[in-house]
C-alpha cells in the first residue's frame, strides 16, 4: 500500500539528499567520509569508526551492529557455516495494520539481506568450534516470531548434538506481535531447549547488546550460564516508555543500562566490544576445561 503524502507537505521546500534516520535508532550517518556521533556529537572519520568496531572513539558509545558485522568481530577470520538460512516467516494471523505483516517482512528483508532477525552459525573462536546465534535489530526490531524461535531452538539442539559450547548474541525489542501467541510461545520453546542444553555440562554464554528487552530477555537471553552485556546497552523486561507511562514519572538516565543492571546483580559482566571475543574465548576455555 502506497503512503500518501499529506497535502501540507506538497508546498514545503524539499532539501536535496535527505537523510532519514529512525527516531529511536542512534547510528552515525553511514555515507561520506565523516560521521557525527549520534550520542556525543563528535565528528569522526568514518574509517576510524569502522576500525573501532562501531564504537565512538570519544565517548565509547557502542552502536548497533548488523549480524554479519558482529560475526566478523567474534569469529576467527569472520568465517562460519550458516544453517537454516532459508527459514522464513509465514503470516499465520494474516496480520494487517497500516502495513501488512508481509510488507513489513519484505521491507526488512530488502534492508538487511536477511530472511529474519537472527542468523545461526557454526564457527570458531580462537580455533575452538562453537554454535552461535546472532540477532539483528534492523529486522523488525529484532523481534522474535516463529522463525527466530525455531532457529534459536535448532541452534541449541545442534550444540547439544555436536557437544559444542553455545553463544547467543541478543538484540531485540521482544516477541513479534504480528504473529500473536505463536511468538509468545517461542519464549517457552527456546527456554525448554536451553533446559536440555544445561544437562550437557557445556557452557552457554549469553551476550546482551543494545537493546535487549521483552520476550527475548524474559527467555533464553536471561538463561546463560554467564551473562555479558555491552557497555551502556539497554537491558530489561519492559521498555522504558512503558514503565514511564505506568508509573507516571521520568526514569533516571542510567536506568536499565548494562552498568545499572550489573549493580543490581542481573548480569555477570559488562565488556567493551574490543574485548568481547577474548572474554568469551577465555570463559569457554575455562568452563570446558581447556585452560591455556
Partner 1 sequence: MKKFMMDFEKPVVELETKLEKLKRLPTKEKSGIAKEILLLEKQIDKIHESIYSNLSASEKLQIARHPNRPRTFDYVDFIFTDFIELHGDRVCGDDLALVGGPAFLEGERVMILGHQKGKDTKENVSRNFGMPHPEGYRKALRLMELAEKFNLPLICFIDTPGAYPGIEAEEHGQAAAIAQNLMKMSTLSIPIIILNIGEGGSGGALALGVGDRIFMLENSYYSVITPEGCASILWHDETRASEAAEALKLTADDLLRLEIIDGIIDEPLGGAHRDFELVGGTLKKVLEDNIKELKGVSIDKLLDDRYKRLRKIGAYAEK
Nearer to partner 1, 191 or 232 (CB): 191
Near partner 1 in 190-209, by CB under 8 A:
191-192, 194-196, 198
Pattern of binders to partner 1 over 221-250, x per CB under 8 A? xxx------------xxx---xx--xx---
Nearer to partner 1, 150 or 230 (CB): 150
CA distance 58 to 35: 13
Range 97-114 burial, b when 16+ CB lie within 10 A, else e: eeeebeebbeebeeebeb
- Identify the H or E element spanning 151: helix 146-161
CA distance 217 to 238: 9
- With binding defined as CB under 8 A, does residue 149 bind partner 1? yes
- With binding defined as CB under 8 A, does residue 262 bind partner 1? no
Nearer to partner 1, 28 or 145 (CB): 145
Nearer to partner 1, 35 or 219 (CB): 219
- With binding defined as CB under 8 A, does residue 136 bind partner 1? no
Nearer to partner 1, 266 or 285 (CB): 266
The size of the interface with partner 1 (CB under 8 A), counted in residues, is 61
Q: What is the 3-state secondary structure (H, E, C) of 121-144?
A: EEEEECCEEEEEEEECCCCHHHCE
Find all residues with CB under 8 Å of 88, minimum gap 6, and list them.
105, 115, 116, 147
- With binding defined as CB under 8 A, does residue 102 bind partner 1? no
Pattern of binders to partner 1 over 15-54, x per CB under 8 A? ----------------------------------------
Between the alpha carbon of residue 261 and those of residues 195, 258, 268, the distances in Å are 24, 5, 9
The region that residue 96 occupies, defined by phi over 0 for left and psi between -120 and 50 for alpha, beta otherwise, is beta
Residue 37 C-beta: closest distance to partner 1, Å = 28
**Residue whose grid cell is 547488546:** 209
Residues near partner 1 (CB under 8 A) are 84, 86-93, 95-98, 146-147, 149-150, 153, 175-177, 179-189, 191-192, 194-196, 198, 213-215, 217-223, 236-238, 242-243, 246-247, 251, 255-256, 264-266
Amino acid at each position: 500500500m502506497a503512503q500518501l503524502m499529506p497535502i501540507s507537505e506538497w508546498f514545503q521546500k524539499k532539501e536535496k539528499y535527505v537523510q532519514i534516520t529512525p527516531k529511536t535508532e542512534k547510528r552515525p550517518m553511514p555515507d561520506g567520509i565523516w560521521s557525527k556521533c549520534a550520542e556525543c556529537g563528535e565528528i569522526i572519520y568514518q574509517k576510524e569508526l569502522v576500525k573501532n568496531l562501531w564504537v565512538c572513539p570519544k565517548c565509547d558509545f557502542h552502536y548497533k551492529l548488523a549480524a554479519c558485522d558482529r560475526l566478523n568481530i567474534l569469529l576467527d577470520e569472520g568465517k562460519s557455516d550458516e544453517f537454516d538460512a532459508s527459514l522464513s516467516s509465514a503470516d499465520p494471523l494474516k496480520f494487517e495494520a497500516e502495513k501488512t505483516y508481509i510488507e513489513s517482512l519484505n521491507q526488512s528483508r530488502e534492508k538487511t539481506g536477511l530472511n529474519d532477525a537472527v542468523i545461526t552459525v557454526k564457527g570458531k573462536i580462537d580455533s575452538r568450534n562453537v554454535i552461535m546465534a546472532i540477532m539483528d535489530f534492523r529486522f523488525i526490531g529484532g523481534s522474535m516470531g516463529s522463525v527466530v524461535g525455531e532457529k534459536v531452538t535448532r541452534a541449541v539442539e545442534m550444540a547439544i548434538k555436536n557437544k559444542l559450547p553455545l553463544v547467543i548474541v541478543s538484540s531485540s525489542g521482544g516477541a513479534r506481535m504480528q504473529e500473536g501467541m505463536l511468538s509468545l510461545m517461542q519464549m517457552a520453546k527456546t527456554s525448554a531447549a536451553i533446559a536440555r542444553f544445561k544437562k550437557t555440562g557445556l557452557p552457554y554464554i549469553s551476550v546482551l547488546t543494545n537493546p535487549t528487552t521483552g520476550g527475548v530477555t524474559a527467555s533464553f537471553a536471561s538463561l546463560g550460564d554467564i551473562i555479558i552485556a555491552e557497555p551502556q546497552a539497554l537491558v530489561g523486561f519492559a521498555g522504558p516508555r512503558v514503565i514511564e507511562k505506568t508509573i507516571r514519572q521520568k526514569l533516571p538516565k542510567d536506568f536499565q543500562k548494562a552498568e545499572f543492571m550489573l549493580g543490581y546483580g542481573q548480569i555477570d559482566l559488562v565488556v567493551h566490544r574490543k574485548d568481547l571475543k577474548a572474554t568469551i574465548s577465555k570463559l569457554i576455555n575455562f568452563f570446558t576445561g581447556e585452560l591455556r
